[in-house]
């Protein structure tokens, strides 16, 4: 395959590869190397440069930074380099926090210059045919001007010609020292200024800006924290079934990513027993023993904003008396620190000291707690707030540093204006509230408190048959290997030998969705289920069923209702699943619907709620797009932004109409704050008692 690609590269001109946009139709969004509102309308609103952050906000950030910098100074900000996993395989790219904060560009290889005279000048990498084939399209000079709104833009090869003159006309030069790039470090003018101590760290100023969050940033940070909370709660429920540190780490990462997080904020810390006292324990390779507590310190990154959450619980399901005493002590100390942090002018360093007092002078000097933990002055984990592992004022940030770890914080940490309502801190949940959520999730383990944006793909935008065939055949290798590896251990063959590839081939070339489903159902019940482990077989069967459902409608176009198709939350429904769902929901007509798995609300995609059917219909359990009902109220219920008609209806039953609020509403009428979990006034019964209709609804 590599030889073929190299051959294609050698015979394809630069103009042919880079200039392919000339052949795009008007309805296809240009690829600028990162999501835009045109290419990803489900992710970005009009006017947003990155999800949740507008172009105007990026321009305002640059203006504020220039106001902080000394007169006639120059800021050089380099993009993060690509880090390699092996010689030819890169790690997933993560942008330098300062570069992203100032430019909004999520791609490697660029350098941004910010000055009072030049404004924002961006030097962009040039797309080479070989790189485009392997890595895809990247933003160039045109995109720097049109998308990122730079005042000037040049190709990277001109940096050595233009930057020296900019430096010579500047009194001081600032740059992001964490991201050193040879692109400007080798320039003679830069080295000369550095020799004279006139090159300084830009982080002193960028961190000062990033410490205060805008409303848009606060919203993203709340969303990131909400994802982490949901993921951790669901992981708690599985800790007894899978008592291994590594399995719990994998589970929490999976739950974060399927809710929209791009990556974890850091390697999950999952420590069972004594491993929980190792501050940055990341081996995660031990079995959790009976009676041990497990500590989990995790956070996820959502569009550049990171959450950080620490919880400790007993996988066996109950605290010992000593464990409960320690837990309650730390919780009370945490609450005390949170209250202190709300006072304007209270600096972060004081919180650490107060935390030590709260743990050390708790009035438990004669207790087993002091003998076992508090009085060991030689053991660092018992005297540091961070080490006793509860969240205090570790401020979530879009970069790697926070209030405690930033080495540039000293010059401005005591400024009163740096503390106040725009500072974001962790809040420890009350254990009773945590237990309520756990009990709720035990009943409905698939509930999402607030699903994020999900790609809503009508049948006309589904993957092509060729792409699906490639994906299924790559999956076939795993299944065929499992079948072959166990074929020798079976006493006798009850079913005819069939390869998974042959079933895939028939699925791709079949015109009948029902025949394909029947074939796959038979295959999974016999060969795969009979030869794989129980857990693996369930995953295989679910994956195959989902692939067949996507495959069945991938060549259809147009309105689903005209094609006798049912889609729910953007996912085409197979006849098999429709029939199962109709046993609960009633008759289902062809159409493109959204469905609230938790509350039972439903409607046509893009419109308000049309009714209520029983919640928790497993066949409809697909992520609910937050824009599914065309809402613009900035009020969310179960992850869906309400349509104005929905808000008016619920407001009549007592739901507050304040903007930027998110609620969980159950079919019983109970209302909870999606962020804090606090219960509000009930709205009363929202639908007839389901028992009156024997669990069935009127239909959709």
456, part of any domain: no
The rounded radius of gyration (Å) of the Cα atoms in the chain is: 28
Average pLDDT over residues 327-350: 74
Count up the domains in the chain and report the number.
4
For the stretch 570-605, pLDDT in tens is 888 888 888 888 888 888 988 899 999 988 999 999
Decide if pLDDT at 350 tops 80. no
Q: Contact at 8 Å (CB) between 524 and 483?
A: no
Apex 506 CA angle, 504 and 510, nearest 5: 125
Decide if pLDDT at 13 tops 70. no
For the stretch 638-692, pLDDT in tens is 989 999 999 998 988 889 888 888 898 988 888 988 877 788 888 887 754 333 3
Which of 211, 230, 255 finishes a domain?
A: 211
207 with 237, same domain: the answer is no
448, part of any domain: no
pLDDT band (50, 70, 90) for residue 69: very high
35 with 123, same domain: the answer is yes
Average pLDDT over residues 508-533: 41
Burial readout 533-545 (b: 16 or more C-beta within 10 A, e: otherwise)? eeeebeebbeebb
Q: Which range is most confident: 184-193, 285-294, 428-437, 535-544?
A: 285-294
What is the edge-to-edge ordering of all strands in the sheet holding 300-302?
A: 263-264, 300-302, 305-306
Give the position of tokens 């919880």. 311
Q: What is the H or E stretch that residue 610 is in? A: none
Looking at 62-66, 96-100, 247-251, 390-394, which range is the least confident one? 390-394
Q: Which range is most confident: 264-268, 454-458, 623-627?
A: 264-268
**Integer CA distances (angstroms), 679 to 4, 664, 669, 670, 676, in order:** 61, 9, 11, 7, 9
Give the position of tokens 């924002």. 120
Which of 523, 552, 581 finishes a domain?
A: 552
What pLDDT does residue 453 have?
33
453, part of any domain: no
DSSP single-letter state for residue 244:
B
What pLDDT does residue 295 have?
93
455, part of any domain: no
Looking at 9-13, 180-184, 321-325, 421-425, which range is the least confident one? 9-13
Q: What is the H or E stretch that residue 121 is in? A: strand 119-124
Which of 211, 237, 255 finishes a domain?
A: 211
Give the number of other Cβ atoms within 10 Å of residue 693's Cβ: 12
Decide if pLDDT at 366 tops 50. no
DSSP for 422-488 reads T-----PPPHHHHHHHHHHHHHSTT--SS--------GGGSPPHHHHHHHHHHHHHHHHHHHHHHHT
Average pLDDT over residues 101-127: 93
174 with 305, same domain: the answer is no
Q: Which range is most confident: 14-28, 53-67, 418-432?
A: 53-67
Query: Who's near 478: CB < 8 A, 6+ residues apart?
Result: none
What is the overall mean pLDDT for the chain?
A: 70
Q: Contact at 8 Å (CB) between 313 and 293?
A: yes
Query: Who's near 687: CB < 8 A, 6+ residues apart?
Result: 600, 612, 667
92, part of any domain: yes
- What is d(CA 216, CA 44) in angstroms, rounded to the nearest whole number? 13
What pLDDT does residue 35 have?
92
250 with 334, same domain: the answer is yes
Q: For residue 140, what is the domain's CATH number?
A: 3.40.350.10
Apex 268 CA angle, 327 and 288, nearest 5: 60
Q: Which range is most confident: 174-183, 341-350, 453-462?
A: 174-183
610 with 506, same domain: the answer is no
What pLDDT does residue 147 have?
93
262 with 376, same domain: the answer is yes
Decide if pLDDT at 348 tops 60. no
Q: What is the H or E stretch that residue 10 is in? A: helix 2-11
206 with 72, same domain: the answer is yes
- What pTM was computed for the model? 0.55
Indicate the SS3 state at residue 252.
Answer: helix
Give the number of other Cβ atoms within 10 Å of residue 548's Cβ: 23
- What is d(CA 678, CA 239) in angstroms, rounded to the nearest whole number? 25
Give the position of tokens 């926070």. 402
DSSP for 72-112 reads T-EEEEEPPPPPBSSSS-BPPP---HHHHHHH----SS-EE
Q: Contact at 8 Å (CB) between 248 and 239?
A: yes
Which one has a higher pLDDT value, 268 or 537? 268
Query: Who's near 194: CB < 8 A, 6+ residues apart?
Result: none
Which one has a higher pLDDT value, 453 or 669? 669
| Spacing of C-alpha 45 from chain mean position | 18
Give the number of other Cβ atoms within 10 Å of residue 302's Cβ: 27
Phi (first) and psi of residue 100, to 5 degrees: -65, -40
Which one has a higher pLDDT value, 107 or 533? 107
355, part of any domain: yes
- What is d(CA 435, CA 624) in angstroms, rounded to the nearest whole number? 26
Q: Which range is most confident: 62-76, 336-350, 527-541?
A: 62-76
What pLDDT does residue 422 have?
52
Q: Contact at 8 Å (CB) between 696 and 612?
A: no
What pLDDT does residue 200 have?
86
User: Sign of the C-alpha dihedral, residues 490, 496, 497, 498?
Assistant: negative
257 with 333, same domain: the answer is yes
What is the edge-to-edge ordering of all strands in the sheet holding 635-637?
A: 640-641, 635-637, 661-665, 671-673, 679-680
Phi (first) and psi of residue 527, to 5 degrees: -65, -50
Domain that residue 305 falls in: 215-443
106 with 192, same domain: the answer is yes
299, part of any domain: yes
- What is d(CA 584, CA 571) in angstroms, rounded to the nearest whole number? 19
219 with 207, same domain: the answer is no
Decide if pLDDT at 535 tops 80. no
Q: Burial level of 431, CB count in 10 A (0-12/13-18/19+)?
A: middle
Decide if pLDDT at 383 tops 80. no
220 with 206, same domain: the answer is no
Average pLDDT over residues 280-299: 91
- What is d(CA 278, CA 561) in angstroms, rounded to the nearest whole number? 57
HSE, CB side, 13 Å, CA atoms: give it for residue 275: 23
Q: For residue 407, what is the domain's CATH number?
A: 3.90.230.10
458, part of any domain: no
DSSP single-letter state for residue 186:
T
415-420 long-range contacts, CB within 8 A, separation 24+: 416/344, 416/345, 418/208, 418/211, 418/212, 419/344, 419/345, 419/346, 419/347, 420/344
579 with 680, same domain: the answer is yes
Indicate the SS3 state at residue 568.
Answer: strand
What pLDDT does residue 29 have?
56
Which one has a higher pLDDT value, 417 or 141? 141
């Amino acid at each position: 395959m590599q030889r073929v690609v190299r051959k294609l590269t050698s015979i394809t001109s630069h103009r042919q590869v880079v200039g392919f946009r000339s052949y795009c139709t008007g309805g296809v969004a240009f690829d600028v190397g990162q999501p835009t509102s045109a290419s990803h309308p489900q992710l970005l609103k009009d006017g947003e440069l990155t999800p949740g952050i507008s172009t105007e906000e990026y321009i305002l950030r640059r203006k504020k930074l220039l106001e902080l910098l000394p007169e006639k100074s120059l800021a050089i900000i380099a993009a993060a380099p690509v880090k390699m996993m092996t010689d030819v395989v890169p790690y997933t790219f993560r942008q330098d926090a300062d570069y992203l904060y100032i430019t909004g560009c999520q791609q490697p290889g660029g350098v941004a210059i910010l000055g009072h005279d030049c404004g924002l000048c961006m030097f962009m990498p040039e797309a080479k045919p070989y790189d485009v084939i392997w890595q895809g399209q990247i933003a160039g000079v045109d995109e720097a001007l049109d998308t990122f709104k730079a005042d000037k833009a040049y190709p990277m090869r001109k940096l050595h010609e233009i930057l020296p003159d900019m430096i010579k006309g500047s009194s001081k030069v600032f740059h992001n020292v964490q991201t050193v790039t040879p692109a400007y470090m080798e320039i003679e003018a830069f080295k000369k200024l550095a020799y004279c101590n006139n090159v300084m760290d830009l982080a002193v100023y960028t961190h000062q800006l990033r410490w205060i969050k805008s409303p848009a940033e606060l919203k993203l940070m709340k969303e990131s924290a909400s994802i982490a909370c949901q993921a951790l709660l669901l992981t708690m429920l599985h800790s007894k079934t899978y008592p291994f540190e590594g399995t719990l780490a994998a589970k929490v990462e999976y739950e974060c990513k399927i809710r929209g997080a791009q990556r974890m904020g850091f390697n999950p810390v999952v420590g069972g027993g004594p491993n929980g006292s190792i501050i940055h324990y990341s081996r995660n390779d031990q079995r959790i023993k009976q009676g041990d507590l497990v500590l989990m310190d995790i956070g996820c990154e959502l569009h550049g904003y990171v959450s950080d959450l620490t919880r400790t619980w007993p996988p066996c399901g109950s605290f010992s008396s000593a464990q409960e005493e320690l837990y309650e002590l730390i919780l009370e100390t945490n609450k005390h620190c949170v209250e202190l942090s709300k006072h304007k002018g209270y600096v972060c360093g004081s919180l650490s000291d107060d935390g030590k007092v709260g743990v050390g002078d708790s009035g438990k000097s004669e207790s087993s707690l002091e003998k076992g933990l508090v009085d060991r002055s030689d053991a660092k984990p018992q005297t540091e707030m961070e080490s006793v592992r509860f969240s205090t004022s570790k401020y979530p940030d879009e970069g790697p540093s926070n209030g405690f770890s930033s080495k540039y914080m000293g010059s401005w940490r005591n400024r009163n204006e740096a503390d106040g309502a725009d500072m974001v801190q962790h809040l420890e949940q009350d254990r009773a509230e945590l237990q309520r959520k756990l009990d709720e999730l035990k009943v409905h383990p698939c509930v999402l408190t607030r699903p994020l944006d999900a790609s809503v793909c009508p049948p006309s935008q589904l993957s092509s048959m060729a792409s699906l065939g490639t994906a299924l055949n790559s999956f076939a290798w795993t299944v065929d290997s499992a079948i072959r590896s166990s074929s020798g251990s079976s006493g006798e063959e009850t079913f005819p030998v069939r390869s998974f590839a042959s079933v895939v081939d028939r699925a791709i070339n079949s015109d009948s969705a029902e025949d394909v489903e029947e074939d796959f159902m038979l295959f999974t019940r016999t060969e795969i289920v009979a030869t794989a482990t129980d857990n693996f077989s369930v995953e295989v069967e679910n994956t195959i069923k989902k692939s067949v459902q996507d495959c069945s409608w991938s060549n259809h176009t147009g309105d689903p209702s005209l094609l006798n198709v049912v889609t729910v939350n953007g996912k085409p429904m197979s006849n098999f699943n429709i029939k199962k769902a109709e046993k609960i929901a009633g008759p289902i007509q062809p159409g493109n619907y959204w469905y609230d798995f938790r509350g039972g609300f439903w409607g046509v995609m893009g419109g308000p709620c049309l009714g209520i059917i029983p919640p928790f219909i497993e066949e409809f359990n697909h992520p609910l797009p937050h824009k599914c009902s065309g809402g613009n109220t900035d009020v969310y219920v179960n992850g869906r932004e309400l349509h104005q008609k929905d808000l008016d209806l619920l407001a009549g039953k007592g739901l507050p109409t304040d903007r930027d609020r998110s609620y969980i509403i159950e079919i019983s009428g109970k209302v909870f704050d999606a962020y804090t979990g606090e219960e509000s006034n009930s709205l009363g019964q929202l639908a007839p008692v389901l028992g009156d209709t024997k669990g069935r609804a009127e239909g959709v």
